[in-house]
Amino acid sequence: MLLPQEIIRAKRNGLELTREQIAFFVEGVTTGTVTDSQIAAFAMAVFFQGMEMHERVALTEEMMHSGNVLQWPDMPGPVVDKHSTGGVSDSVSLMLGPLVAACGGYVPMIAGRGLGHTGGTLDKFESIPGYNIMPSEADFKQIVNDIGVAIIGQTDEIAPADKRIYSIRDVTATVDSIPMITASILSKKLSAGLGSLAMDVKTGNGAFMQTLDDARALAQSIVAVANQAGVPTSATITDMSQPLGSTAGNATEMLEAIDYLTGAYRNPRLHAVTMALAEQMLLLSGLASTKEEAQQKLNHALDSGAATEKFSAMVHALGGPADLVENARQHVKLAPVCLPVFANQAGYVQHIDTREVGLAVVSLGGGRTEPSQGVDHSVGFTEFASLGQAVAADQPIAKVYARTEADAEAAAARVQAAFNISEQAVTPPPVIHDLLEPSSNN
């Protein structure tokens, strides 16, 4: 007879768990027969003892099957998605979904909210009036089928075991366990019934995995587990030692995404990551057979306006305004107080405390410190200076949008302190550090 405490004891003692043991424990999490304290003990045992790859695959698959797994039997093209481990100014999903849809992919993106210093894709979409992040499953499937992309929130039916386990990991200091992170991410993503997945694993001071070694270890785990679970997956390790784009916030990033799609302005780092991940999605799904072909298709989708059309159609299908792209600033409102943030001296941007920049958004009300909090979509930052950039003492390194003068001044001071200016010229780090492909021997 299987008992939760015996499974915990086995893992605590460093033994490998069988598929049967893991399935029993996850089922108990889902039905409630496993208690919160037992989940906490299990998470701590895994934190210290780790898991072999076959255990990670079993945990991922059992958590995925704890709820509804979407099926796409009649889809006219490949079903593909991406996932980022999160950071500051990471608006890639906003452009990437429509861009890949314009190249023939079908992207059922189930996105998350921001927590702590990281922004959330759902919060960004909720800056659009009327946008419905929780359509019915039938509507979700119909929109993906008709348009090629829908970006929505996680329902209670998707990986319910993960929702319960994660909430307990969050309060028991067991979040940063690579086997548990792997299972948490993939159980949710693979529940969408994907044919392939492109992962974006961030590294740097604004990332969850701050060192390149930690980011690579997580990327290797995700690629190995997802591929063993039958979903071709690659992982691109990208830089988060500065805000990825030019803006941070919800409305601010939505407006930047619209400018990106229309070609009004494309931040070079944001563009590099978006194109790298989109290229992976086309290659993994068979929509392109070479990197050159993928880039050609992606550039055509951007230049022809096809990606923008997909974005507009998705927003309208999910309840947003039909003329969002044409009249973006009438629909997506920024907070009324705008202040420039000046460098504390002339020179070159040597270092940015990216996590602090994210927390400055939270301090304005644009993020949350616990999951039930609401956010103010209108606050945030624009026009960030980047690492290595020369700045004059009277030149802004950012602009802040806030509800009040006092809020704006406090957030501006926080961002000013997060930017370290040096007299010496600085070479910024590469935007893309590494790529782990499905065939990689990881």
Residues annotated as catalytic (active site), given as ranges: 81-84, 121, 169, 184, 188-189
Cβ proximity of 310 and 101 under 8 Å: yes
Cα(214)–Cα(345) distance, integer angstroms: 34
User: Which residue type does 286 have?
Assistant: G
- Return the residue matching tokens 């507009």: 312
Cβ proximity of 81 and 226 under 8 Å: no
Cα of first residue to Cα of last residue in the chain, in angstroms, is 36
Cβ proximity of 349 and 387 under 8 Å: yes
Q: What is the CA radius of gyration of the chain?
A: 22
User: Which residue type does 399 have?
Assistant: K
User: Which residue type does 252 have?
Assistant: T
Q: Residue 359: exposed, middle, or buried by beta-carbon count in 10 A (0-12, 13-18, 19+)?
A: buried
* Beta strand ranges found along 314-356 (DSSP E): 337-342, 347-352
* Pairing between β-strand 337-342 and β-strand 396-402 as defined by DSSP bridges: antiparallel
Tokens of 377: 């979509």
Query: Which of 147, 134, 144, 169 has the alpha carbon at shortest distance from 29?
Result: 169
Cβ proximity of 202 and 84 under 8 Å: yes
User: Which residue type does 98 have?
Assistant: P
Query: Which of 419, 411, 418 has the alpha carbon at shortest distance from 348?
Result: 419
- Return the residue matching tokens 């072999």: 52
- Return the residue matching tokens 């030692």: 241
What length does the chain have?
442
Contacts of 299 (CB under 8 A, 6+ apart): none
Q: What angle do CA 217, 222, 227 make, to 5 degrees?
A: 130
Element (H, E) at 242: none
User: Which residue type does 186 have?
Assistant: L
